[in-house]
């Protein structure tokens, strides 16, 4: 090297001046570089594009040769052990899937061939961001992963309770999760997104806007796993025996209807019972009140996909149910709790790549990346390629191959031949008739790091989701944005988020700005594609509009004392039982109370350990003497005041008046049912079918 060489100028790890960067939606950013290091791989190779994985054409499949994408996900998949990187806090149960009819016209998948066919399943519900020890009811997406043990192998439908996702390309998944998790310099906050890193990332990623409207809605604080929907998120293919393909999106519809909690209630639930969701599911199954969902399919063809105003390969988009109705084809029933949490719930390994003949992938770039990633992460977490032989993961169909050895091998090849083809006539052979065959598809295009043009519309469906909510749900979304962004310390991030919300709805943006105390509104963020403002409302997107028809599966907390009216209590229990509703007694002492007829009955909760947030509705049935005592008990007053503030239906007797007055509830009106005779108990249960008396929440907030 000569003395006048300029090695520093040639270094790939330094840049000077400025550079024009092009974002996923085509938007451009001028970045001052100076001494900013160039992004490189672990091998020091400069990276030209960290936003898009390499694919064949704008809508083609992701290429295996993309070494940067492979290395990035490989490192991410191996970051933590043994806890899952995401979905660490989970709870599972066994059950079955039963088909309503043969679907042989659209798929050759064996589990869909025969009416009434029952396929064993294992389902794991989970939060995404929190660690294993985090509470059950943070504001978070819920995983809804189902392993079908079919006669032709295992099919894993690895979905969420929200049908879209934050990112469009799996190359961004490590960045998204890093931003949502604890900030690395301090190790907190966890199980929440109300911090700078998360909002910095999403405010710089317009593709996240649709998902942000979902997670700021009540969808992310469900009342129970039993009352939430599930979605496969991606577009898949169903393939029949003639190799004809039908595009499909998978749905799970809870038979008990949709229901969530309110934010203040969620905060208190996490303190009162951090295991609230898992306890709820466990108890329901143990009591024989088996949770059920119906599987729904949105079926469409390539012609529809090509005419649809958004790209069906974009995981940040939905197809509204009003446009393509959901066809219900079977039911999922969970009827058995696990016997060993670690062996089953913790060791279960879901992989999106696990599909069976009759189901196939599409070129959804996020799905393609997940298929690539899951095997790696399960190997790291469970420590051996033989994790598939663990009982919870092992297929119930015969397994015949020549794979052998390795850590924890339960099954090994016997005899001379451990390869094929072999001359000894030993071992299994492939079958063109029965084997999985990828549906032939022509793919062409240049190798490019690029996304399809329609992927760049980041606001239209976010707007559609918001406008499809009821007024009370819109208020909850606004409040959630204000709460989360109030925790963001960097003012520029708050401004940036409001600039995006202006493309969703001006009223929403203004309300959030007012809630944050912004002195002036920022300019709207320039959209990469024009916002489509005329999309019709979709009632299917609202929780309140899709609630239950009965109060079945819910729980009433009854606050009682010695001297409780035996007839009224008995009538309430009978009405609840007829509806399929649970009743728990909350008393000054867990040993129970003596009723007005001298009967001693046990309680399920002590008053300072059974707050009203644990229940879907409450009844306050003290004796006159008991009410006077409860009026001096802070937690008894909280029981009433919280139920009131959370808009729950409240049954009461006149003797409760002193307690109501101490709790600040001076004039029981809407949402209250006065119990004077046994027939009033039935009226109370019928009122509870509405789940909440929302008019009261609006009044409480206005005070």
DSSP E strand stretches across 322-439: 327-337, 359-360
SS3 150: strand
Strands 245-254 and 292-300, bridge-based pairing: antiparallel
| Rounded-to-integer distance, Cα 532 and Cα 589, Å | 59
Three-state secondary structure call for residue 279: helix
> What are the structure tokens assigned to 402, written together?
């020549």
Catalytic residue among 160, 363, 393, 479: 160
Q: At a CB cut-off of 8 Å and minimum separation 6, what does 114 contact? A: 99, 102
Three-class SS of residue 60?
Answer: coil
Phi/psi region, residue 322 (left: phi>0; alpha: psi -120 to 50; beta: rest), is: alpha
Cα distance between residue 257 and residue 570, in whole Å: 28
Dmax (CA) of the chain = 105
The token pair that represents 560 in the structure block? 């009682």
Neighbour tally for 194: CB within 10 Å: 16
209: Cα within 13 Å, side-chain hemisphere: 32
Work out the burial of residue 492: count CB atoms within 10 Å of its CB; fewer than 13 is exposed, 13-18 middle, 19 or more buried. Answer: exposed
d(CA 507, CA 698): 18
Neighbours of 105 (CB within 10 A): 12
Helices marked H in 78-233: 173-180, 196-203, 209-215
What are 21's two structure tokens? Answer: 């960067």
* Residue found by looking up tokens 């940036």 in the block: 496
Six-digit token string for 271: 């303190």
**Residues 6 or more apart in contact with residue 188 via CB below 8 angstroms:** 182
Q: Which of 377, 250, 257, 236 is nearest to 312 (CA)?
A: 236
End-to-end CA distance of the chain: 78
| Distance between CA atoms of residues 341 and 132, nearest Å | 13
Q: Where are the beta strands (DSSP E) in 384-452?
A: 447-449
Q: How far apart are alpha carbons 466 and 537 in whole angstroms?
A: 9
Whole-angstrom distance, CA of residue 550 vs CA of residue 686? 8
Catalytic residue among 87, 210, 476, 500: 87
Give every CB contact of residue 187 below 8 A, 6+ residues apart in sequence: none
d(CA 120, CA 252): 16
- Whether 87 is a known active-site residue: answer yes
Active site residue 160: yes
Q: Which residues are catalytic?
A: 87, 160
């Amino acid at each position: 090297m000569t003395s006048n060489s300029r090695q520093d100028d040639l270094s790939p790890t330094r840049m000077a001046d400025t550079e024009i960067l092009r974002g996923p939606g085509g938007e451009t950013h001028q970045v001052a570089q100076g001494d900013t290091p160039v992004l490189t791989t672990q091998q020091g190779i400069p990276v030209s594009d960290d936003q898009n994985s390499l694919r064949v054409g704008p809508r083609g499949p992701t290429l295996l040769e993309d070494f940067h994408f492979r290395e990035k996900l490989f490192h991410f998949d191996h970051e933590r052990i043994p806890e899952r990187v995401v979905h660490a806090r989970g709870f599972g149960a066994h059950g079955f899937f039963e088909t309503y009819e043969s679907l042989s016209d659209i798929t050759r998948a064996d589990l869909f061939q025969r009416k009434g066919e029952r396929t064993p399943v294992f389902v794991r519900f989970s939060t995404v961001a929190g660690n294993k020890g985090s509470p059950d009811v943070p504001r978070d997406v819920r995983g809804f992963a189902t392993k079908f043990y079919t006669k032709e192998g295992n099919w894993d439908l690895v979905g969420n309770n929200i049908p879209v996702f934050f990112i469009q390309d799996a190359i961004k998944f490590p960045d998204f999760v890093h931003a949502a998790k604890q900030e690395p310099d301090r190790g907190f906050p966890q199980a929440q997104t109300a911090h700078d890193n998360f909002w910095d990332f999403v405010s710089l990623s317009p593709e996240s806007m649709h998902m942000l409207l979902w997670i700021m809605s009540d969808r992310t604080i469900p009342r129970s796993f039993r009352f939430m929907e599930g979605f496969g998120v991606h577009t898949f293919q169903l393939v029949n025996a003639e190799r004809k393909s039908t595009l499909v999106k998978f749905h799970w519809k809870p038979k008990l209807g949709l229901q969530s909690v309110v934010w203040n209630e969620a905060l208190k639930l996490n303190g009162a019972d951090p295991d609230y969701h898992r306890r709820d599911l466990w108890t329901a199954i143990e009591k024989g009140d088996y949770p059920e969902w119906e599987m729904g399919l949105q079926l469409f063809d390539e012609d529809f996909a090509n005419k649809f105003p958004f790209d069906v390969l974009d995981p940040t988009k939905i197809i509204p149910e009003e446009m393509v109705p959901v066809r219900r084809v079977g039911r999922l029933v969970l009827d058995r709790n696990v016997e060993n949490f670690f062996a089953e719930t913790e060791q279960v390994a879901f992989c999106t790549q696990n599909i069976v003949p009759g189901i196939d992938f599409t070129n959804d770039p996020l799905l393609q990346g997940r298929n690539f990633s899951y095997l790696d992460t399960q190997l790291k977490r469970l420590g051996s390629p033989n994790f598939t032989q663990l009982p919870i993961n092992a297929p119930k169909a015969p397994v015949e191959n020549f794979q052998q050895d390795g850590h924890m091998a339960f099954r090994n090849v016997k005899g001379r031949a451990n390869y094929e083809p072999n001359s000894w006539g030993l071992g299994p052979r492939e079958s063109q008739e029965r084997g999985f065959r990828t549906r032939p598809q022509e793919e062409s295009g240049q190798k490019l790091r690029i996304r399809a043009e329609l992927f760049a519309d980041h606001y239209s469906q976010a707007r559609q989701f918001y406008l499809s909510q009821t007024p009370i749900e819109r208020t909850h979304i606004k409040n959630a944005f204000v709460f989360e962004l109030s925790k963001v310390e960097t003012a520029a991030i708050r401004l940036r988020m409001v600039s995006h919300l202006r493309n969703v709805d001006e009223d929403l943006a203004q309300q959030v700005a007012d809630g944050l105390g912004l002195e002036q509104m920022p300019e709207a963020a320039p959209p990469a594609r024009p916002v489509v403002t005329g999309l019709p409302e979709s009632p299917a997107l609202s929780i309140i509009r899709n609630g239950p028809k009965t109060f079945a599966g819910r729980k009433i907390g009854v606050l009682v004392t010695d001297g409780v009216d035996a007839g009224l209590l008995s009538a309430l229990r009978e009405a609840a039982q007829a509806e399929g509703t649970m009743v728990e007694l909350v008393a000054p002492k867990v040993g129970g109370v003596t009723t007005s007829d001298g009967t001693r009955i046990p309680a399920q909760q002590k008053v300072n350990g059974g707050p009203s947030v644990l229940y879907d509705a409450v009844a306050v049935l003290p004796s006159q003497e008991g009410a006077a005592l409860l009026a001096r008990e802070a937690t008894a007053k909280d029981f009433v005041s919280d139920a009131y503030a959370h808009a729950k239906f409240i049954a009461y007797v006149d003797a409760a008046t002193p307690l109501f007055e101490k709790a600040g509830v001076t004039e029981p009106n809407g949402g209250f049912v006065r119990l004077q005779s046994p027939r009033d108990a039935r009226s109370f249960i019928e009122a509870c079918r509405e789940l909440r008396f929302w008019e009261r929440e609006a009044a409480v907030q206005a005070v």
